[in-house]
Amino acid sequence: MSYFLTEEQVSIRDVARRFTQREVRPRVMELYGPKGHTFIKEMGKKMADLGFFRIPVPESAGGLGAPRTTLLVVYEELSKESPALALHLMLNGVLPTMLLMGMPAAREKWFEKVLDGEATMAGAGTDPRGLANFSEWSDLAVRDGDHFILNGSRSYCTGGPYADLVIVFGLYKGTTWAFPLDVGTPGLIIREDEKMGLGTSFGALTMSDVRVPVAESLEMSAWVKDRKLVQANGHSTINVLDISSMSLGLAEGVFEKTFEYALQRTNAGKSILTLGAIQVKFAKMKAQIECARNMIYNAARLLEEGRQDKMLEHMVKPIATEMAVDVARSCMQLHGGMGYCVETGIERYLRDAMGLTIGECTSDMHWSTVATLMDMPETRLGSF
């Protein structure tokens, strides 16, 4: 968490911490088994009852209208046990705000249901040609009177297999649009794809002559126009701080468990924490965690004060997510064979951390964008 929280943010953090410790921790391994979807939706309803989904929603629409830091603190606490639940919060807290920008029928049908945890949303924006190389994307939509007709596919849709509403992002005449599709819409098929970590599964979407009213679709020309990013920071910085705070929480969670384990684990009758090599490992991990924390919450504070630092945000994501991988690997190794066993729940942190390095553009994609923002010669934007 940030060291500079308001009283309200401290209160919300404490609620998230108690929920994570009491509700999530005892059952988190269910997420990685056949009941994963059920677990996500059950915990999602509990998070909704606590008001988490309403944190980013404007007060005028029945939300809390809280600053970004408030949401990051909750992501961080949830991710100490399950970044998958933090991702679920991101999808069902942030995506509903898109319904406020347009999509009147979808808003009427789904907005309150999602915020109350009675329905779930997912977003699908990865083209088979890649997430951010828009110059190679084909148009997803053609217009037929008052409707768009969608033909194509989207990959890696987190939450897709158990969603009720999916927001699909695609091009129409080279410009990005968002299309709300109810699951069950004729021509829409969602295939479940297993993945390495983060629980549950991806959804691969196929659309064959899917019809969606133009009045329900949202033009997003501020993002991509003429198959080109409109600006260097694009919309990627909408979620990079979210993913980064999840990585921070993940690292803290596995660090805390490993520190407690090291206190109890003995060598020659003494805690292994008395060994110099082990002490250095923990000291370095703590330093990595604190460095990432400061970058994340400094970037959030600048954003909230209207002084957004695009370059900093693109740096934060690869640094925080790669830090989580390093910490998770070290902690698994410190547990020895126990850390490598699935049933102890330690190796899952490494699998989850790897997923966070990929979501919302990979580390290399962000570094390429940083190079562009530094005005290096012959650079290309790597992330959107």
Q: Among 99-103, 167-171, 222-226, 341-345, which stretch is predicted with the lowest mean pLDDT?
A: 222-226
Query: Residue 235: is its pLDDT beyond 50?
Result: no
pLDDT value for 378:
87
Phi, psi angle pair for 116, to nearest 5°: -90, 0
For residue 67, the tally of other CB atoms under 10 A from its CB is 18
At how many degrees (to 10) do helices 276-304 and 68-79 cross? 150
Query: Where exactly are the structural domains of the chain?
Result: 7-94, 121-229, 236-373
**pLDDT grade, residue 139 (50/70/90)?**
very high
pLDDT value for 140:
98
CATH number for the domain whose boundaries are 7-94? 1.10.540.10
Residues 230, 224: contact at Cβ < 8 Å?
yes
- The whole-number average pLDDT for the span 188-194 is 94
For residue 283, the tally of other CB atoms under 10 A from its CB is 10
3-state helix, strand, coil in the chain (%, to 5): 55, 20, 25
Residues 168, 207: contact at Cβ < 8 Å?
yes
**pLDDT grade, residue 316 (50/70/90)?**
very high
Fold of 121-229: Butyryl-CoA Dehydrogenase, subunit A; domain 2 (2.40.110)
Read off the tokens for 258: 């490993």
Does residue 130 or residue 46 have the better pLDDT?
46
Q: Do the strands 165-172 and 121-124 form a parallel or antiparallel pair, or are they unpaired?
A: parallel
- Bridge partners of 191? 204
At how many degrees (to 10) do helices 276-304 and 240-264 cross? 160
- Please measure the distance between the N-terminal and C-terminal CA atoms of the chain and give it in whole angstroms: 27
**pLDDT grade, residue 133 (50/70/90)?**
confident
Read off the tokens for 158: 């987190």
CA distance 317 to 237: 9
Superfamily of segment(s) 236-373 = Butyryl-CoA Dehydrogenase, subunit A, domain 3 (1.20.140.10)
Average pLDDT over the chain, rounded to an integer? 94
Query: Residue 239: is its pLDDT beyond 80?
Result: yes
CA proximity to 150, closest of 167, 130, 129, 162: 167
At how many degrees (to 10) do helices 347-358 and 310-334 cross? 160
- The whole-number average pLDDT for the span 176-186 is 97
Q: Do the strands 141-144 and 266-267 form a parallel or antiparallel pair, or are they unpaired?
A: unpaired
Span 83-119, pLDDT tens digits: 999 999 999 998 999 999 989 999 999 999 999 999 9
Taking the C-alpha atoms of 248, 72, 122 and 18 in order, what is their torsion angle to the nearest 10 degrees? 80
Give, in order, the Cα–Cα distances in Å from 285 to each of 56, 311, 324, 340: 31, 25, 9, 19
Phi-psi region of 99 (alpha: psi -120 to 50; beta: other; left: phi over 0): alpha
